[in-house]
Structure 1
Amino acid sequence: MTILPPNPITVTSSTLLGDVHSTNTYVVRDNGFNGQIGDQTLLTYGDTLYKDSSYSDTFYGIVSNSVAQPTSNPLQVFDLLLNSQGWPEQFCPVNAAWGEDNTDYAIGISNVMETSPGNGILFFLKNYRPNGVNNIIGAGVATVTLDGDVPSCTRLAEYWWDASTEPWYGDICCVKFGTYIYAYGHGPSQVYIYCCRVLTSNATDLSAYEYWNGSSWQTERLYDVTATESVFWEIQSGQVIWSKYYGCLMFVYLDRFLDNQVNAVTARYPQGPWSSPVILYKCPAGTPAGSIYGALPQDNYDPTGKTLVCVYTQIPNDIRAIEVTFT
Structure 2
Amino acid sequence: MVIFSKSLATITLASSACAAPASSLDNTQPAGENPIGEFSVEYLGNQDADNSCSHRDLGFAGHIQDKWYAVYGDTLWCAPGVSDQDADTDGQFHGMVRDSVSALTDNPLIVHDLFLNGDSPVPHQKQFIPFEKKWGEDNLVGFGGTSLVETDYTNATGAVYYLVNHAEDYRGAGVAKVQVLDGIPTVTERLGDNGYWWDAKENPKYGDVAAYRDIHSEYTYVLGNPPGKITSWPDNAYVYQARVKAVDSFDLSKYEYWWGRENGWKSDLLTTFTAETAVLWGTGQGQIVYSQYFKTYLYVHLQGATISLLSAPSPEGPWSAAKEIYTATPINDGLVYAGVAYPYLDDTGKTLTIAFTNNNHIQVIRVAFA
Question: Which structure has greater strand proportion?
Answer: 1
Q: Describe the shift of the 1:151–1:288 C-alpha distance in structure 2 as closer, same or farther (beyond 3 A).
A: closer
Q: Which position in structure 1 is the counterpart of 2:288?
A: 240
Q: Does 1:128 align with 2:166?
A: yes
Q: Report the secondary structure of 1:97's partner residue.
A: helix
Q: Which position in structure 1 is the counterpart of 2:13?
A: none
Shift of 1:274: 1.2
The answer (yes or no) to whether the contact 1:64–1:107 under 8 Å persists in 2 is yes
Q: Does 1:324 align with 2:367?
A: yes
For 2:164, give the aligned amino acid: K
The answer (yes or no) to whether the contact 1:22–1:76 under 8 Å persists in 2 is yes
Q: Does 1:147 align with 2:181?
A: yes
Q: Which position in structure 1 is the counterpart of 2:191?
A: 156
Structure 1 residues 254-269: aligned runs within 5 Å: 254-255=302-303, 258=304, 260-269=305-314
d(CA) in 2 for partners of 1:106 and 1:173?
17
For 1:162, give the aligned amino acid: D
For 2:128, give the aligned amino acid: F
Q: Does 1:181 align with 2:217?
A: no
Q: Describe the shift of the 1:11–1:137 C-alpha distance in structure 2 as closer, same or farther (beyond 3 A).
A: farther
Deviations 1:83-108 (A, max 9, x none): 12210111111111101000x31111
For 2:56, give the aligned amino acid: R
The answer (yes or no) to whether the contact 2:144–2:164 under 8 Å persists in 1 is yes
Q: Describe the shift of the 1:11–1:313 C-alpha distance in structure 2 as closer, same or farther (beyond 3 A).
A: farther
CA RMSD of aligned residues (A): 1.7
For 2:143, give the aligned amino acid: I
d(CA) in 1 for partners of 2:96 and 2:61?
22
Shift of 1:8: 2.5
Q: Describe the shift of the 1:252–1:165 C-alpha distance in structure 2 as closer, same or farther (beyond 3 A).
A: same
Q: Which position in structure 1 is the counterpart of 2:92?
A: 58
Aligned length: 314
Match of 1:312 among 356, 361, 369: 356
Q: Report the secondary structure of 2:253's partner residue.
A: helix
Identical-pair percentage: 36
The answer (yes or no) to whether the contact 1:180–1:199 under 8 Å persists in 2 is yes
Q: Report the secondary structure of 2:344's partner residue.
A: coil
d(CA) in 2 for partners of 1:147 and 1:237?
29
Match of 1:16 among 34, 43, 56: 43
The answer (yes or no) to whether the contact 1:8–1:275 under 8 Å persists in 2 is no
d(CA) in 2 for partners of 1:234 and 1:39?
32
TM-score by length of 2: 0.81
Deviations 1:186-233 (A, max 9, x none): 113441111101111211100110000112101110135122211111
Structure 1 residues 104-115: aligned runs within 5 Å: 104-115=140-151
Q: Report the secondary structure of 1:229's partner residue.
A: coil
The answer (yes or no) to whether the contact 1:209–1:219 under 8 Å persists in 2 is yes
Match of 1:30 among 23, 36, 57: 57
The answer (yes or no) to whether the contact 2:34–2:322 under 8 Å persists in 1 is no
Q: Which position in structure 2 is the counterpart of 1:204?
A: 250
Greater RCO (Cα-Cα under 8 Å, separation 6 or more): 2
d(CA) in 2 for partners of 1:162 and 1:115?
24
d(CA) in 1 for partners of 2:92 and 2:52?
15
